[in-house]
Amino acid sequence: MFQLIKRSDLVSQAGDISCPGGMLHPSIDKIISLFLTTGLFPSLHKGLSKLACCEDKQSIDLVRLFLSNALREAWEEIGLNPLAVSFLGALPTYSLILMTRTIFPLVCLTTKPYEFRLSPEVDKVLEIPLSTFFDGSRYAQLEIETSFHHHMSRNQFPCIVLNDDQEEQDILWGATFYIIMNFLRIISDDSLPVPSSTDKIKRVLSDTYISGNNRQKDKA
């Protein structure tokens, strides 16, 4: 089960489905990372200690720093208790297309159910079963139309269509889609299904998509 968030209208990339996370705060996250080497977080320390056999100290320090950032952001956004998290490992970095930003993805396992406490940055939490990604009919093509700085462009991206109990449709695409698919290829020995759906979805991103206060419009 993947626990992802839908970004609220108060932040940039509003309406997008993403993993909990955010910008690195070096001083704060550095202090937090020092606690990960202690016995206060045994499940996290155990995962980090496994890196020692195959990674140099600089790489381990970077993983610990970004793990601290991820834990802090998950606590702020959805109330995830870091004591209830086991660290599994790091994935390859991913660079965004629409902005000069690189994502450092990490994989963690929540060891027990917990009650979500959402910040104003989060509209809702989506719990997506693993089986969703192995259902070829869930896939579609998303056509993105952008008008940044009065320059129109169109691009197509693979996506997964998510429907909740209230028949609300959400679209998983972009960086989060690629990061999850990369993770699944690693753990499934590249046995993901060939998409069987021919559905196409169109979406317009406004000039404020990156800066915030965005409104996205879907076309039939």
- Domains with residue ranges and CATH for the chain: 2-122 (3.90.79), 129-219 (no CATH)
Cα–Cα distance for residue pair 162/157, rounded to 1 Å: 16
**pTM of the predicted structure, to 2 decimals:** 0.85
- Going residue by residue through the chain, which has 220 residues, state the pLDDT in tens, using 9 for 90 and above: 898 999 998 888 889 999 999 899 989 999 988 887 777 777 787 778 877 777 788 888 889 999 999 999 999 999 998 888 889 889 988 888 767 788 999 999 887 778 899 999 999 999 999 999 988 888 999 998 876 656 667 888 999 999 876 677 899 999 999 999 999 988 888 778 777 777 888 888 877 777 776 444 444 3
Cα–Cα distance for residue pair 111/209, rounded to 1 Å: 35
